[in-house]
Amino acid sequence: MTTITTVATSTPPPRRKAGRRPIRLAMQQDAAILADAAKNPGKSVAQLAIDNGAAKDTVDAVLRKYNSNIKEVDDYRKNRVEIIAGIQGKLLKTLATKDCTEASVQQLATAAAILIDKERLLTGQSTANIATFSHLVAEIEGAEVDITPDP
């Protein structure tokens, strides 16, 4: 009589491809690298890698991928009111000439109205007609309210 014995062997979990980081870790690490680079603009790639526990190649790739975008975003934030006003002008010219190839006139008009609303919001102006609400509140409370705008 022959006895068969089996030996349990465990197989290791599949290995991640070299150079791949889990997405959540990658996003957190990229954000940390960019924040560190923004706070310390003179820091070398090697020092950023050491401080953030990343490979130099990873730091270099992150900086190449996002650094130009950071400058573009900063420039946009500083000039967004003027940028929005310029886009409004282009939209209104398109409406005036009816040179609408991809968008309908209604879509362009809606886009222009939204941009005007955003420009007013960014410059601290009212984006809603609050005079109507002031009258309603005054009637309900029985008080007089001056709704003339401040100079």
Q: Distance between CA 105 and CA 111 in Å, rounded?
A: 10
Q: Is the pLDDT of residue 15 over 70?
A: no
Cβ atoms within 10 Å, residue 8: 4
* pLDDT band per the 50, 70, 90 thresholds, residue 78: confident
Cα 105–Cα 107–Cα 109 angle in degrees, nearest 5: 70
Q: Is the pLDDT of residue 45 over 80?
A: yes
Average pLDDT value for the chain: 75
115-128 residue pLDDT tens: 888 888 888 877 67
Q: Distance between CA 91 and CA 101 in Å, rounded?
A: 13
